[in-house]
Chain A
Amino acid sequence: DAEITQSPRHKITETGRQVTLACHQTWNHNNMFWYRQDLGHGLRLIHYSYGVHDTNKGEVSDGYSVSRSNTEDLPLTLESAASSQTSVYFCASSDDPGRETQYFGPGTRLLVL
């Protein structure tokens, strides 16, 4: 079955370190998204991509970057981790723009000490 996976599922890192969270989908979807979920804020969009080599900033993109070298993967990089980036990160994908629902991965719980 097609799916969307995230790794690692849990990560502890130190302030200032670079961290990369992986997202892989096997639906061959063009659209991929990264969100963070924090208590009291709901899910907020970090970055998104509509296809290979396309990336766009979302609502809370400062301190994060993404790259899209193929259809299946959209890794999220924290350039220099900060305690404010402690959160649960979700990756999602969707197909036909504007019509299809988004399918979410299981999430990565990140703790920055």
Chain B
Amino acid sequence: KQEVTQIPAALSVPEGENLVLNCSFTDSAIYNLQWFRQDPGKGLTSLLLIQSSQREQTSGRLNASLDKSSGRSTLYIAASQPGDSATYLCAAGREKLTFGTGTRLTIIP
């Protein structure tokens, strides 16, 4: 059974810093790895999807990497802004996603 872990549960960084969020998974035979953003009281918004044959995906200031052999994915956020404050979740799988419990990110102005 796939298990997905995100550590730390919460992170605070000053505005303008680059930061990395971590995601670990136990079954390296994943199909996709997705990163989502969730604002308080809202649904999830997809940020990046990495297919198993890919190593990374980029969108604007976001870059997500996937290393299946080590069971890890990272989400890199460049030049953080207060608007980046949210909970970030990673999810592994094909259609049936297994989610981590998320990292609550706070960007301090």
Instruction: Enumerate chain A residues within 8 angstroms of B46, measured Cβ to Cβ.
Output: 101-103
> Is there contact, CB below 8 Å, between B43 and A97?
no
Residues of B within 8 A of A92 (CB): 44
Q: Which of A12-20, A36-44, A63-71, A75-83 contacts B (4 or more CB under 8 A)?
A: A36-44
Q: Is the CB–CB distance between B51 and A42 below 8 Å?
A: no
CB pair B42–A42 under 8 Å, yes or no, is no
**Assuming A41-B101, A42-B102, A101-B34, is B95 touching A90 (CB within 8 A)?**
no
B-side residues, CB < 8 A to A, are: 4, 31-32, 34, 36, 41-46, 49, 51, 89, 91, 94-97, 99-102
CB-defined contacts of A40 to chain B, threshold 8 Å = 101
12 further A-B contacts with Cβ under 8 Å, apart from A42-B89, A42-B102, A107-B42, are A33-B97, A43-B91, A45-B96, A48-B95, A90-B43, A98-B32, A98-B95, A101-B49, A102-B44, A102-B46, A105-B43, A106-B42
Residues in B whose Cβ lies below 8 Å from that of A35: 99
In the bound complex, what is the Cα–Cα distance between A94 and B45 (angstroms)? 13
Could you give 26 example pairs across A and B, Cβ below 8 Å?
A33-B96, A42-B99, A42-B101, A43-B44, A43-B89, A43-B99, A45-B96, A45-B97, A48-B95, A48-B96, A90-B43, A90-B44, A92-B44, A94-B95, A97-B94, A98-B94, A100-B49, A101-B49, A102-B34, A102-B44, A102-B97, A104-B45, A105-B43, A106-B43, A107-B42, A107-B43
- Across the interface, which residues of B come within 8 angstroms of A106, CB to CB? 42-43
- Among A42, A44, A98, A104, chain B packs the most CB atoms within 10 A around the CB of A42
Decide if A31 is an interface residue (CB 8 Å cutoff): yes
Whether A58 pairs with B96 at a CB distance below 8 angstroms is: yes
Cα separation A64 to B36 with both chains bound (whole Å)? 26
CA A94 to CA B89, docked complex, whole Å: 18
Residues of chain B within 8 A (CB-CB) of A45 are 96-97
Residue in chain A with minimal CB distance to B6: A42
| Contact, CB under 8 Å: B101 / A97 | no
